[in-house]
Amino acid sequence: MTPRLWAVGTLVVLLVALIGYAAVAVPWHRAPAPRADQLAALGQLPAEQVARSRAFHAALRPGSYAGMALALLIALLLGLTPLGARLVELAGRPFNDHWLARAVLGGLLVVLLTELLTLPLAAWRHTIVVRYGISTQTWGGWSVDLLKSFGVGAVLGGLVLAGFFTVTHFAPRWWWAIGAAGAAGLVVLLSFVLPVVVEPVFNRFTAMPDGPLRTELLELAARDGVPVKDVLVADASRRTRAVNAYVSGLGPTRRIVVYDTMLTEATPDEIVSVTAHELGHAKDNDVLTGTIMGALGAAVAVVALYLLGSWPSLLRLAGVDSIAEPRAIGLLLAVTTIAGLISGPAQSFVSRRVEARADTHALELTADAETFEAMQRRLGTVNLSDPDPPAWEHAMFASHPSTVQRMAAARAWARGDR
């Protein structure tokens, strides 16, 4: 059997495994959130706050959609014309066109060019979030975080590029198999590494001082059967006024993290409510589920790239001989960008189902629908979330149920509608 036939068979197996696992692990049932309750909840929100939230998102939309369109256009120009291949050649020229220099430096050059061209739109977005009081960052702080993000991306991206093209260089016929296994393994590794290595690059974490709130959060986790290592406070206030809390890490690295903004903006009961939601993710192994689905998805992507790489007309447009050579980095960028846009709505749909289950978990763990609803109002008000966004936009991009959907679900739960 040829490598291509093996790849086709492997792709089918991986897709069946991904779909089958998703069918079992994703909570497809959603708690009731009647539209009548949503409208009632919307009517109880302060009209001026709803108007401000909607004005904020209206101001963000042009830049957000322009950024998506520009990123897609750049990816297509670099991937479906010889321009990307020429940039990779340019990056490798000082190093005698060595394949590894082309792979790492060429890839970083292509990504850097994309980031620089979309930077004005990112800066424009920063002016809006500052104007509406969401961001507390000066241009200096924003620039430092941007450089940190570039640095982390360059390190991780460089390692991935070096690993991928090393495999394609030394195993030109079977790189798809090794690459699929490596991509899946990398997703699993990053699930453990990112919380303890990358998060501290952007935030400083300190242990929450001993007191009633810390004790209550630890007791909540123990009652829920979710062991946590610590309760930490993140210094989010140095960049934002938004409030949040989350449970980070897997196994021995799991900890409850509370934004310092939440300690000043929310009541202790509201903090307990949002923490109960986050414990729901840990209780139901949502991070593990996401990791497994991400690993399978990454393996599918590598095998699909291999099969796509035999399409002569596509290679001809990019001016390359194989999708496995460093000069095809632009083509890889174009393919992954298009795949991301296509798969995005499905990922958002799954995420909303997972978040809705965590909401139900919080209600059951605390048995306090009133505080849960108050917390959703708080989150929506402080974070300037659109409480009832356009249905098409919500379906395409939202990772969480809307504010009024979550409030309606709490009201339905309180009535016993499960």
- What residues are designated binding site for Zn(2+)? 277, 281, 355
Buried b / exposed e over 308-328, threshold 16 CB at 10 Å, is ebeeeebbebbbbeebbbbbb
Considering the candidates 265, 270, 278, 373, report the single residue annotated as catalytic: 278
278 is catalytic: yes
User: Helix 212-224 vs helix 329-366: angle between axes, to the nearest 10 degrees?
Assistant: 100
Binding residues: 277, 281, 355
Q: In this structure, which amino acid lies at residue 411?
A: R
Cα-atom radius of gyration of the chain, to the nearest Å? 23
Q: In sequence order, which ranges of 139-197 are alpha helices (DSSP H)?
A: 139-170, 175-197
Separation CA 196–CA 187 (nearest Å): 15
**Tokens read off for 182:** 């490596």
Considering the candidates 359, 373, 386, 388, report the single residue annotated as catalytic: 359
359 is catalytic: yes
What sign for the dihedral angle of Cα 68, 71, 77, 79? Answer: negative
Q: Name 410's Cβ contacts closer than 8 Å, sequence gap at least 6.
A: 359, 363, 369, 372, 373, 376
Q: In this structure, which amino acid lies at residue 111?
A: V
The order of strands in the sheet holding 255-259 is: 205-207, 231-234, 255-259, 245-248
Backbone angles phi, psi at 173, to 5 degrees: -90, -30
**Tokens read off for 327:** 């000069």
Rounded-to-10 torsion of CA 229, 231, 237, 239: 10
Annotated catalytic residues are: 278, 359
